[in-house]
Structure formats: structure tokens, C-alpha cells
Amino acid sequence: MRLQWRTDLLSDTALVRDVALVCLADGIVGVSFGATAVAGGLPWWVPVGMSLLVFAGGSQFAAVGVVLAGGSPLAAVAAGAVLNTRLFPYGLAVSDVTSTGGGRARRWGTRLIGAQLVTDESVAFALRHTDPARRKAAFWTCGAALFTVWNIAVPLGVLAGSAMRNTAAFGLDATFPAVLLALALPTLTDGRTRIAAIGGAGVAVALTPVLAAGLPVLAALSGLAALWRPRRRPDADGAGDSVGVRQPTGHAIPVRSNR
Amino acid sequence: MMPLLAIAALAAITYALRIAGPLLADRVTVPAAAPRLFTSAAAVLLMALAATSALTAGHDFAGWARPAGVAAAGLLAARRAPFPVVVLVAASVTALLRLAGIH
């Protein structure tokens, strides 16, 4: 009994420590997001509103990046939406923990809130555990902490970005692509995805001088053709397994806890 | 500029994608290849955004300082350097190059 209690305590301490580290990293992403958005000329409520309502860092950066490059709002929404398609299989993977027990009303209430907390990080934390109670604790601790930190960090970044007069002199414009690169690198878990991503990036850069802003990034999706294989052997390249959390169904979700 | 409608649309699409999983978990099975395709699509978009925002400004080349800072940060990120270090290096390398007159 006592031993059981001690291991629970230890693992909870580990959970809190790991969540704190992820929050610190994401807090810096949030500050950078808020600062970049207002330094690029967007009003303060754009990054702040997006962080509350969209709450998906990569797609927020993508949408704002397209708009700051002069792209249309439609292209911005499309880029952000494509990035977030991965939230659908994430939601399937953690459907058992996004609502808590209790009455019907409480179950629905928590399910609606829990859905908003589905992120790369909270799902990765939940999938570390098989025990339902542990999964639930990991998901909600990480999700709630991230939501809080993200929505404090972005307004702080807005303040910092508004205070800086000459953001180019501070190299602030380099932090945006650097953040995206740091987000993308851990997802390049197998050779084909790497080829698709590098090929797509090449297409996007090559088309930037000629296409309307926002479209080159969407054209990069043509790089996904690299994933196509005529006759699929089961797991031919054995990809992704070393750098991901295995879902019960057997495919890997990349863990971006180093972001 | 980014109208309120665009934010609302992205928020609605994102929430729909999030809630669809828990609502449909008992009724649908996703083909095994689908999650990997979504993850790869995300990787492709992030890399394309990183490359275009590092190398271009409008329709033109962004100059050398920014790509140099991003490349330095990328090397550190690939070596799993802590996130704050990656961001700081990107900004400092770019700022120092500009201070030295390289733009």
C-alpha cells in the first residue's frame, strides 16, 4: 500500500515536472507569436483572440505568416486548417479521456471543454500511459496548463512586440522561421516525409516570386506525392517508430515535447 | 489584414476537427495510413512556411542576415538544443550580421 502510494506520488511529480518543461518551451513560442504578429502590423486582438479560440500554435503561426506575407485570409485559413487535420486522429486516440465521469450533463460539459485541450503535447502525455486514471490525469494536467500558459504568453509577446521600435535590428523576423523549423524537425521522422517536406519547401520558395502570397505554401503540399507508393508492403520502411508514442492502433504520433 | 471572420472560421474548423474524434470514436475507424498522412502534411506545411519566411520577403529575396540566423537555429534544433536557445540564436545571429552591415 505504502509503496503503491509512493510510486504514484513519484510519477505525479514527474508529470508536473515534464508538463512544466513543455509549458516553458511553449510559453517562449507564445511570446514569439504575439511579438511577431504585432511587429508585422496586426492589431493586438488578432494574436490574443486566435490563442483563445484556435489554441493550436503551428496553425496560428501559419495563418499569421500567410497574412503577414500579404496572402489572402482564405489562404491563411486553408493553411491553418490543413495543419490542424492531425487533431482529428488525435481526438480519436484520446476519446476515452476528454470527458470525465459523472452525470450526462457533466460528461458533455467536460467533453466540450476537453476537445479544446487536444494538442500535440496533451495527446502525447496521455498516450504515455495505459491506465485510464493516469491517462486522464496526464491529458487534463498538460492541456489545462498549456492553455493557461499559452494565453498568458501571447499577450506578453504582444506587449514586447509593441514596445520594440525597430524589430529588424533585434532580428525578431528570424525567430518566426526558426520556431517553425524547430516545430517541423521532430515530425520528419521517416525518409519519405523528409523528402516530401524538403521537396515541398523547394516548390514553395521557387513559386514565391510568381504566385500570390499564401499560395506557395499550399502548393508545397504537392510534395506529399513523395509518400505515394504503388504497392504498399506492410510498414516497408519501418518508419517513425523510434521517435513517436505508439497509439493502441499501432501508428506513431510524434512527440514534440522538445519544442 | 486579417478579418475577424478568418479567425472565427479557423477556430470553428479547428474545434470541429478536435471534437469529431471523441464524438465519432465508437462509430468510425480511420484507415491506418491516415494519421501518418496528416502528420506528413503538417510537416510539409511547417517546412514550407519556415523556408519561405526565412528566404523571402514579399516576392523577393529577404537578404542574407535572416536565412543565416535561421540556419544557425536550425542546426541547433536538429541537435535537440533547448527551445529558448534556438530562438535566441536565430535573433542574435541575424541582429549581429545586420549590425556588421550584412543585410
**Contact yes or no for B91 and A171 at CB 8 A:** yes
User: What is the count of structural domains for chain A?
Assistant: 2
Contact of A38 with chain B, judged by CB distance below 8 Å, is answered with: no
Residue A256 lies in a domain: no
Domain that holds residue A60: 2-188
Residue of B nearest to A27 (CA): B84
> Is residue A125 domain-shared with residue A224, that is, in the same domain?
no
Give the total residue count for chain A.
259
pLDDT (tens digit, 9 = 90+) per residue, A164-212? 878 788 888 898 899 889 888 988 888 999 999 999 999 999 999 998 8
**A174 in a structural domain:** yes
Strand B60-61 relative to strand A252-254, pairing: unpaired
In chain B, the number of structural domains is 1
- Distance separating alpha carbons of residues A76 and B73, to the nearest angstrom: 25
B102 to chain A: which residues are within 8 Å by CB?
none
**What's A244's DSSP letter?**
E
Q: Residue A238 pLDDT > 50, yes or no?
A: no
Percent of chain A whose pLDDT exceeds 70: 85
Q: Using CB atoms, pick whichever of A82, A89, A216 lies closest to residue B52.
A: A216
- Within 8 A of A252 by CB-CB distance, chain B residues are 36
Chain A nearest CA to B8, separation (Å): 8
Q: pLDDT grade, residue A150 (50/70/90)? A: very high
Give me the interface pTM, i.e. the ipTM. Answer: 0.89
**Residue A17 shares a structural domain with residue A135:** yes
Residue predicted with more confidence, A10 or A176: A176
Pick the residue with more confidence: A250 or A53?
A53
Which of left, alpha, beta for B80 (phi over 0: left; psi -120 to 50: alpha)? Answer: left
Partners of A149 on chain B (C-beta within 8 Å) are: none
pLDDT at residue number A14: 84
Nearest chain B Cα to A197, which residue? B44
| Claim to verify: residue A143 and residue A55 sit in the same structural domain | yes
CA distance B76 to chain A (A): 9
Domain containing B69: what range? 4-99
Instruction: Mark whether A147 and A194 lie in a shared domain.
Output: no
- Within an 8 Å CB–CB cutoff, is residue A220 touching chain B? yes
**A178 lies in the same domain as A66:** yes
Single pTM value for the model: 0.79
Q: In this structure, are A181 and A221 located in the same domain?
A: no
For the stretch A43-47, contacts whose Cβ atoms lie closer than 8 Å and that sit 24 or more positions apart, written own/partner, are A44/A155, A44/A158, A44/A162, A46/B2, A46/B7, A47/A154, A47/A157, A47/A158
Indicate yes or no: CB of B47 within 8 angstroms of CB of A81: no
Q: Residue A191 is placed in which grid cell?
A: 525518409
Judge if A12 and A139 occupy the same domain: yes
A234 interaction partners in chain B (CB closer than 8 Å): none
Distance from CA of B100 to the nearest CA of A (A): 11
Shared domain for A30 and A101, answered yes or no, is yes
Q: Place A246 in a pLDDT band, splitting at 50, 70 and 90.
A: very low
* Minimum CA–CA partner of B88 in chain A: A175
Instruction: Select the residue of B35, B48, B95 nearest A201 (Cβ to Cβ).
Output: B48
Q: What is the pLDDT along chain B (103 residues), one digit of tens a residue?
A: 558 999 999 999 999 999 999 998 888 877 878 878 888 888 898 899 899 999 998 888 999 999 999 999 999 999 988 888 998 999 999 999 999 999 9
Q: Is residue A248 part of a domain?
A: no
Shortest Cα distance, chain B CAs vs residue A2, angstroms: 36
Cα torsion at A29, A35, A36, A41 (round to 10°)?
150
> ∠ CA(A58), CA(A196), CA(B93), 5° rounding?
55
Tell me what pLDDT residue B37 has: 85
Cβ-nearest to B53 among A50, A176, A224 = A176
Contact A222, A230 (CB under 8 A): no
Same domain, A24 and A98: yes
Q: H or E stretch including B87? A: helix B83-99
At residue B79, the pLDDT reads 94
**pLDDT score at A256:** 43
- Examine the domain organization and report whether A51 and A164 are in the same domain: yes
A82 reaches B (C-beta below 8 A): yes
pLDDT tens-digit readout, A36-72: 899 889 999 999 999 999 999 889 988 998 998 888 9
How high does pLDDT run on average in chain A?
83
- A16 and A57: one domain? yes
Q: Report whether A37 contacts A161 (CB < 8 A).
A: yes
Same domain for A124 and A41? Answer: yes
Chain B residue with CA closest to A167: the answer is B95
Residue of B nearest to A41 (CA): B1
